[in-house]
Amino acid sequence: MKILVCISKTPDTTAKIAFTDNNTKFNEAGVQFIINPYDEWYALVRALELKETLGATVHLITAGGADTEPIIRKALALGGDEAFRINTDSQDSYFIAAQIAAHAQQQSYDLVLTGKETIDYNGSAIGGMVAELLDQPFISIAAKLELNGTEATVNREIEGGEEILKVTLPLVVSCQKGMAEARIPNMRGIMAARTKTLTVVEPVAADTLTAIASFELPAPKAGVKMISADNVEELVKLLHEEAKVF
């Protein structure tokens, strides 16, 4: 069994969001970077659980410059076996998906896992695109994944509930909460990660279909109107007559 986990470098959830270069670039100054939480807590840890229970090789792939290597090493410290970094700064999801698909085609994975989205660009795009490029089934926003030989049972979230799906591997799944419990790397893992193979791959030719024209920050709130706890009727009146929400 060979599993590929796609990981992305994102700003920490508490990072202050600001932009430079006339609002065309994210300001990385002073920002702590992490593995995208969905990629780490759910996709990677589920892959590691499958490795422990069924025996599997877990490969990691990311796209980015040399500055992504600390998060790759952390993913290796958690238990990934080998990592690949596609050397590109592209932010176009199709371009990245084409790189991952090209790599996956060579390696013939049984399972490709991604997070349900990254917490920076919130695209929810890579898993579906990779599946299409590989002509494989895709299950989005999965909260549970069990394997029985080559048969997968996957719970997929839908409005107000979930579907339980059955499919034969190979398969691409985007993962969310419920899939696995977050882990912290231990010292042995951190030491072992130093000597695990991290291969830098130059990107293959692929189209870029979108470009970020600019960023904006939301307009600040006008300020909160405080109402006395003894006067909830006033709040109801404001919501009804001023905000007109009911």
Partner 1 sequence: MSVLIFADQAQGKIKKVAFEAIQYGAKVAAQTGTTATALVLGEVDAAELSALGNYGVTKVLYAADSRLNEVESGVYTKIIAAAAEQEGADVIVFPHNFDGRAVAPRVAARLKAGLVSGAISLPDTANGFVVKKSVFSGKAFANINITAAKKVIAVMPNTFPLEKTDAAASVTPFSPAINDADFKVKVSSVQTVSGEIPLTEAEIVVSGGRGLKGPENWGLVEDLAKVLGAATACSRPVADSGWRPHHEHVGQTGLTVRPNLYIAIGISGAIQHLAGVNGSKVIVVINKDPEAPFFKAADYGIVGDAFEVVPKLTAAIKQLKS
Residue 97 is a binding residue for partner 1 (CB under 8 A): yes
Residue 89 is a binding residue for partner 1 (CB under 8 A): no
DSSP 219: P
**Residue 153, SS3 per DSSP:** strand
Among the listed residues 134, 95, 96, 92, the one whose alpha carbon sits nearest the alpha carbon of residue 112: 134
- 21 CB-near residues (< 8 Å, 6+ apart): none
Residue 138 is a binding residue for partner 1 (CB under 8 A): yes
Residue 128 is a binding residue for partner 1 (CB under 8 A): yes
Alpha carbon 13 to chain centroid distance? 13
| Binders of partner 1 in range 206-225 (CB under 8 A) | 207-218, 221-222, 224-225
Residue 161 is a binding residue for partner 1 (CB under 8 A): yes
Round to whole Å and give the CA distance between 3 and 42: 14
Phi, psi of 92 (to 5 degrees): -85, 125
In sequence order, the β-bridge partners of residue 153 are 146, 166
- Select the residue interacting with partner 1 from 1, 165, 190, 192 (CB under 8 A): 165
Among 48-56, 60-68, 78-86, 230-238, the segment contacting partner 1 (CB under 8 A)? 230-238
Among 45-53, 73-81, 157-165, 191-199, the segment contacting partner 1 (CB under 8 A)? 157-165
Where b means 16+ CB within 10 Å and e means fewer, 50-73 reads bbeeeebbbbbbbbbeeebbebbb
| Binders of partner 1 in range 47-86 (CB under 8 A) | none
Contact 76, 198 (CB under 8 A): yes
Residue 108 is a binding residue for partner 1 (CB under 8 A): no
Least Å from the CB of residue 153 to partner 1: 8
Residue 160 is a binding residue for partner 1 (CB under 8 A): yes
Least Å from the CB of residue 189 to partner 1: 23
Residue 33 is a binding residue for partner 1 (CB under 8 A): no
- Select the residue interacting with partner 1 from 37, 185, 189, 203 (CB under 8 A): 37
Least Å from the CB of residue 194 to partner 1: 30
